[in-house]
Amino acid sequence: MEKKQIRVLVFGAHPDDCDIKAGGVAALYVQQGHRVKFVSVTNGDAGHHEMGGGPLAQRRYAEAQAAAEVIGIEYELLDNHDGELMPTLENRYKIIRAIREFRPDVIMTHRPNDYHPDHRYTSTLVQDAAYMVTVPNICALTPHLETNPVIVYLSDGFMKPYPFTPNVVVGIDAVVEQKIDMLHCHTSQFYEWLPYNSGTLAAVPAGAAARRAWLAQRLFTRFSDTAEKYRDLLIALYGVEAGLQLEYAEAFEASEYGSSLTDENIPILFPFFE
């Protein structure tokens, strides 16, 4: 019997947010013939120290498309200003329509407690859209969904009001190089703005190969920290032998706003644990 194609829709606040938190699992889904779409809820037109506005938005769009091509997914940028996102009714309708048009089985997004207002409000918008996607008279010209998708949160390190508590952890060892390749496409972020903002711009090497190696070294540590932190859950999902061997992982927490994530549907929606 042919397995159902899973449709996964990831909402990040900025171009590269989806990639850094779900690029590995996206690659795994695509390898199995499932469909993935990333949506950046802003156009990224403010996150840089030397450029901004339209030219930066166009540059970040091109970077997102290059990243999408690495693993074969769709990547859409909504034309909202970076740093100015608000949970308005207009923006809620944009999210409702995006969900209805893609008809996902699983939605992934930020948690609502986060340092960046765009992250928080992206989460709020998805939460506010969750039930409304099933209401026919909301955005009436876009056909409503009969069932609410499952929603999961992307990982973070914030502790208040409660720490990130994953229900699913996915090993990404098989695709970790592809994930690095995706992030390498976001030149304006990983080699310019983020190093500038953290005071480490002088440490960024010249040349594409040297830069990618530098980026990989930094990110491998982050991805391995996730695997070690949630090792018990990796073992529970993959079994002892495989769970102990996995080096890199991404983690996801069930949201109460969508349909329930259960022990029964986890292997269907995250078909990676056989």
Give the tens place of pLDDT for each residue, 37-88: 999 999 999 999 999 999 999 999 999 999 999 999 999 999 999 999 999 9
Return the domain boundaries, the chain.
Answer: 7-269
Of the candidates 155, 132, 157, which has an alpha carbon nearest to the alpha carbon of residue 145? 132
Does the global pTM surpass 0.85? Answer: yes
Contact 41, 125 (CB under 8 A): yes
Q: Please name every residue paired with 37 in a beta bridge, in sequence order, or none if there are none.
A: 9, 74
Give the tens place of pLDDT for each residue, 213-262: 999 999 999 999 999 999 999 999 999 999 999 999 999 999 999 999 99
Give the tens place of pLDDT for each residue, 107-131: 999 999 999 999 999 999 999 999 9
Give the tens place of pLDDT for each residue, 127-181: 999 999 999 999 999 999 999 999 999 999 999 999 999 999 999 999 999 999 9
Strand ranges inside 4-105, DSSP E: 7-12, 35-40, 74-77
Residue 24 has pLDDT above 60, yes or no: yes
Residue 1 has pLDDT above 60, yes or no: no
Topology (CATH) of 7-269: Rossmann fold (3.40.50)
